[in-house]
Amino acid sequence: MASPKSRALSCLSSAPQCKTSVEVPVRNESPELQPYTALVPDRLKIVGEGKWDCRDYLSDLFYMPFVEPRVNQFDITPPPELLPDLSKVVKKDVVSLCRIWDSRGLLRIFPAELGPDHEWALAKIFNNRKNEVTDRQIGDRRGANFSEGVIPGPSRTLPTASTLLQICPLRYRQCLVGSVADRRDFYHQFWTTDQRSVSNAVFPVMALKDFHGTAAYDKFIESFGGVRKRRAPRHIAGDNLHLSSGGGPRSILCGPDQRVVGCFSALYQGDHLGVEFACDSHGRLLEQAGLLQAGSRLSSAAPLIYDEAVSGLVIDDFFTLSKESADGCYDDAPCMESASVAMFQQAKEVYAREGLLGSDDKDVVGALKYKVCGGEVNSLRRSVESGVVSLSSPAEKRYALAILSMIAASWPSRRTHCIPVWWGLGFQFYS
């Protein structure tokens, strides 16, 4: 007997094809349909202050590229079509942004000759919609990314919702308790070396007077203003080989028109290696504290060995899940006496010690229904008692798909129209 799909294709094969020349008007008036916009500094929400020094937790593979990016740079020019359009950058908006950075301690200024050799290596900043009143900052550094080598890292093995299917709670008897700790504005909490900050130089190159009144301006005058100071010991100051003269900072006669670059002294969301630095250092920090243990760590590259209490990491989100007796779990209260909560509290102590800010209001503690890795776990007592601990797409997304399906099903079926046929989890359109 032919399948419903084959019958549908057979019935539709003789129908006239939809006209491909009909122009469908685009309506993107809703701000949700325009997630990316040009730089609007006042809408950006920047919380981090670039204070966490991750160097003690970086693996050997990522230590040098983080500390000195030039060890990973190649003499290569990216194709123009792969670069951001810098012609639309508004200088006054960039200056306003730099002053916001300065208020958070995230701005550093360097002479232009110490910055990138090419204009295409400068970053372009734009907004990514977060909610009605605030946006995320994105650093478009495609030029710099292109000239840097790709280093495979832990982001390739981040867990996904499907990895949770390895956990096997006893039917009718066990709940799956979950806890999630979120780091706040994680990328912007990273302290960076001067060399890495220079690799985050923002377009355009500006005059020193544009930064007058900032803390970074005063620091620039102190470092490059030609004032002789007692030289620091060599093992601290180094040899300054990145300067053409070597042997110490050059004396630069600083005037208001001195050409300088403003640099972001943290990690950009848009830095292709930023996610590797974040995952690598965050993971090793928790590993050294006894968390994320092999065999019980969720990963897309290795199976679970022990599933009584498991943990995982997705960049800045640390989460723990544990199987607990349903008799001790109640839908209206968190399961505080669980292995999940114990590991969660241990992680919070580590974050407090390291000064890593979190969003306590977003934390999930000992929950029976929660979202993790993009999936929604339902382990409520009534669900467990019916024999189910479910993992699915979040309910709001399933509702949206259901509404679309209902709308599509209400359309008239005419041979001259394109009718969407709903199969499983997606739409396929046939004439």
- Per-residue pLDDT for 250 more than 80? no
- Per-residue pLDDT for 27 more than 80? no
- Per-residue pLDDT for 431 more than 60? no
On whether the CB atoms of residues 159 and 300 are closer than 8 A, the answer is yes
C-alpha distances in Å from residue 139, one per residue of 15, 33, 125: 49, 21, 5
Predicted confidence at residue 408, as pLDDT, reads 86
C-alpha distances in Å from residue 255, one per residue of 154, 218, 226: 46, 13, 11
Phi and psi dihedrals of 267, rounded to 5? -100, 130
pLDDT digits (tens, 9 = 90+) for 323-359: 999 998 998 899 999 999 999 999 999 999 999 999 8
pLDDT digits (tens, 9 = 90+) for 272-296: 999 999 999 999 999 999 999 999 9
pTM of the model: 0.82
- The neighbour count for residue 64, using CB atoms within 10 Å, is 13
> Which distant-in-sequence residues (6+ apart) come within 8 Å of 74 by Cβ?
147, 148, 149
374 φψ region: left (φ > 0), alpha (ψ -120 to 50), beta (else): left
- The neighbour count for residue 339, using CB atoms within 10 Å, is 19
- Per-residue pLDDT for 126 more than 70? yes
- Per-residue pLDDT for 80 more than 70? yes
The two tokens of residue 340 are 């999940």
Give the relative orientation of helices 60-67 and 274-288 as an angle to the nearest 10 degrees.
130
